[in-house]
Amino acid sequence: MNKNKHPLISVIIPTYNESATIKGTIEHLRPWSNLLEIIIVDGGSNDGTTTLVNQAVVFQATRGRASQMNAGAQLASGEVLLFLHSDTRLPQDFLQQLELAMSDDSVVGGAFKMKVDHPGLFFYLTSLGSNLRAARTGIYFGDQTIFVRRDIFLKIGGFPPVELLEDWEFSLSMRRVGKTVLLPGPVRTSARRWLIHGKWRTTWLLHKIKVLYLLGARPADLKRLYSDRR
């Protein structure tokens, strides 16, 4: 990878009404700002999200994570694309982890192990279960911060234009063209979804959606069950 020609990493952050998190996200990335290209793709926020952003390029796109992440990738110049949720924080050595993984030409992309940023046995087990699933299946979800070589992203056509589980299908697409890896991380992701909607209710709903998808349910139908309100 030619670090002098392109930024090593393009960090793409899809946002929609993230005024509570986006300023902290940008501040979190500040120590690496000279090594990263930071692209925020907003889906039409009406809470002032985009006015809180500095040291990042901001674009507008049709609302929907797949649409927003694809738009950000088209604008990116980094050789590796990293898709970061606004409520997720990277480990201090994430660049070293990425550079080590990408030094293997057979690796096309992957994700990080995750840890929910809230104490207690429930969230420990939630994190453990997510990491075991990712390690065994190679299916990664957005809160694990998916990354991919830019040329591979273009080769597989980006994220599929679906309303939900675009990350699931994208993981499978990566696996079809090369090796994917789950890095030790961990990235820390917010517990706010569980805290707002209820721990057990949220967990049950997420598992229900996965099972229904495996049984053939359409993402558009599953989206009606799921709220990304956080």
Tokens 């929907």 correspond to 64
Residue type, 4: N
- DSSP codes joined into one string, 106-155: TEEEEEEEEEESS-SHHHHHHHHHHHHHHHHH----GGG--EEEHHHHHH
- Residue 6 is predicted with a pLDDT of 43
Low-confidence ranges of the chain (pLDDT < 50): 1-7
Q: What is the pTM of this model?
A: 0.92
Q: Write down the pLDDT at residue 55.
A: 67
Q: What is the pLDDT of residues 68-127, one digit of tens each?
A: 999 999 999 999 999 999 999 999 999 999 999 999 999 999 999 999 999 999 999 999
The predicted structure's pLDDT at residue 67: 96
Domains of the chain from N-terminus onward = 9-190 (3.90.550.10)
> What average pLDDT does the chain have?
91
Question: Which residues sit opposite 9 in a β-bridge?
Answer: 36, 80
